[in-house]
Every structure is written in C-alpha cells, then in structure tokens.
Structure 1
C-alpha cells in the first residue's frame, strides 16, 4: 500500500491536518491549558522576568499585568503550537511531494501555499466554533511556521547531499 517513504510523509501531513481540524473544533474552555499550567507551575517560575514584557497581538495587550501569569504563559504555548503544527504540516507535505514533483522549488511553493491555505480555512473553522476567535495574525504565524519547516528540511537535505558527495 505505502511503498515509498514519501507516502508515509503524506500520511503524516494528513494526520497533522486531522489534528488541527479536531483542535479548532474545540472551544477555548475545552482546550485551555491554564489549569494544567497552574498545577505544574505553582511557584510561577520566571514571573519577575516575564513581568518585564508586554506587547500587542491582534489588538490585545499580552503580558503578565494585562492577563495574569498563567494566561501569558498559555499565550506562548498556544502560539508555539500554531507555529509547530504548521512547521510539521509543511515539512511532511514537502517531504511527501518532493519525489513526485519535477523541480524542488515547485514542491516548496506548493507545500507552503497549501499549509498557508489550510491555516486560513482553519481560522475560518474557528469562526464557526463557539468561544473561539479567528485571527489573521495566527494565519501569518502559521505561514511563517510552515515556511520555516520547509527551509529547515531543505537545508538539512542540502547538508546531507554535500556530505554524501565527499
């Protein structure tokens, strides 16, 4: 059924898409990590250091003073999840498509645009889910995560190719 390694990468990309779809189907209250953070970070490590920082993201102030320690940490967890899941989605997509497409650049472009398009539809899906806020900024973060994943995979492929030639 799956004869090539690239087939498994495409399956992994589909699994990532299913995880993202499931995740965006959940309300914020079903998905929040604040109770877990409160349990594991009872002593609020790095609170004094984190309190020095605040910034605006999608029109809202983010910081310990504005939203509290645990919500601020959760903000980074959630945005890291955005970046990381789209990093993996695009990397898997690229690795699955690269052997099938003539010219690696086409695989790069298609994987990146497909991941960015999926990010946009995922934010639209969140708009249809109660207690969720679709954000254009999240699509941009997802897109950067996807591009980063592809660039790192391409760089690693180039490095391994150079080592084989020696």
Structure 2
C-alpha cells in the first residue's frame, strides 16, 4: 500500500491535520493544562524570573501579574504547541511532496501555503467551537512554525546531499 517513504510522510501530515482538527473541536476548559501544571509545578519554579516579563499578544497583556503563574506558563505551552504542530505538519507535507513535485523550492512553497491555509481554517473552526477564541496572531505563529520546519529540513537535506556528492 505505502511503498515509498514519501507516502508515509503524507500519511503523517494527514495524522497531524486530524490531531489539529480534534484539538480545535475541544473547548478551552476541555484542553486546559492549568490543573496539570498546578500539580507538576506546585512550587512555581522560575516564578521570580518569569515575573519580570510582560508583553501583549492579540491585544491582551501576558504576564504573571496579569494572568497568574500557571496561566502564564500555559500560554507558552499552548503557543509552543501551535508552533510545533504546524512545524511538523509542513515538514511531513514537504517530505511527502518533495519527490512528487519537480523542484524542492516549489514543494516547500506549496507545503508552507497549504499549512498556512489549514491554520486559517483551523482558527475558523475554533470560532465555531464554544469557549474558544480564533486569533489572526495564531495563524501567523502557525505559519512561522510551518516555514521553520521547511527551512530547517531544506538546510539539512542540502548538507546531506552535499556530503553524499563528495
């Protein structure tokens, strides 16, 4: 059925899309990591250090003072998940499409645009889900994650290919 490695990468891209769809179907209360963070980080490590940081994201202040230690840490966990899942989605898509599309650059552009488009539809899906807030800033974060996955893999493949040619 799946004879080439690139077939498996496309399957992994579809798995990532399914995970993202499922995650977007959950309300914030269903997927919050605050209770877990409260158990794991009960001594609030690095609280003093984290308390010195404050910034705005999507019009809201993000800081320990504004949202509390656990919600501030959760903010980074959630945004890291955004970046990481779209990093993997685009990476798998790129590796699956690279042998099928003439030119690695074109495969990269297509994978990046597809991941960014999926991010936009994912935020729309969140708008339809209760207790969720769709954010344009999250689409941009997802897009940067996707581009990072493609660029990093392109650099790795370039150097691996160069080493093989020697």
Q: Same fold, TM exceeding 0.5?
A: yes
Could you say which residue in structure 2 is the equivalent of 1:116?
116
Q: Matches of 1:157 and 1:112 in 2, distance apart?
A: 17
Q: Matches of 2:42 and 2:34 in 1, distance apart?
A: 11
| Residues 15-69 of structure 1: per-residue CA shift (max 9 Å, x gap) | 0000000000000000000000000001000000000001000000000000000
User: 1:82, CA displacement in angstroms?
Assistant: 0.1
Could you say which residue in structure 1 is the equivalent of 2:153?
153
Q: Matches of 1:159 and 1:44 in 2, distance apart?
A: 42
Could you say which residue in structure 1 is the equivalent of 2:89?
89
Could you say which residue in structure 2 is the equivalent of 1:17?
17
User: 1:9, CA displacement in angstroms?
Assistant: 0.1
Correspondence list, 1:98-117, <5 A:
98-117=98-117
| Deviating 4+ runs (over 6 angstroms) | none
Q: What is the root-mean-square deviation in Å for CA atoms of aligned residues?
A: 0.4
User: 1:148, CA displacement in angstroms?
Assistant: 0.1
SS of alignment partner, residue 90 of structure 2: helix
Q: Matches of 1:146 and 1:30 in 2, distance apart?
A: 26
Q: Which runs of 5+ in 1 are unaligned?
A: none
SS of alignment partner, residue 99 of structure 1: coil
Q: Matches of 2:26 and 2:108 in 1, distance apart?
A: 31
User: 1:165, CA displacement in angstroms?
Assistant: 1.6
SS of alignment partner, residue 26 of structure 1: coil
User: 1:143, CA displacement in angstroms?
Assistant: 0.1
User: 1:163, CA displacement in angstroms?
Assistant: 1.1
| Residues 69-90 of structure 1: per-residue CA shift (max 9 Å, x gap) | 0000000000000000000000
SS of alignment partner, residue 100 of structure 1: coil
Could you say which residue in structure 1 is the equivalent of 2:138?
138
TM-score (norm 1): 0.99
User: 1:105, CA displacement in angstroms?
Assistant: 1.2
| Residues 143-166 of structure 1: per-residue CA shift (max 9 Å, x gap) | 000000000010000010111122
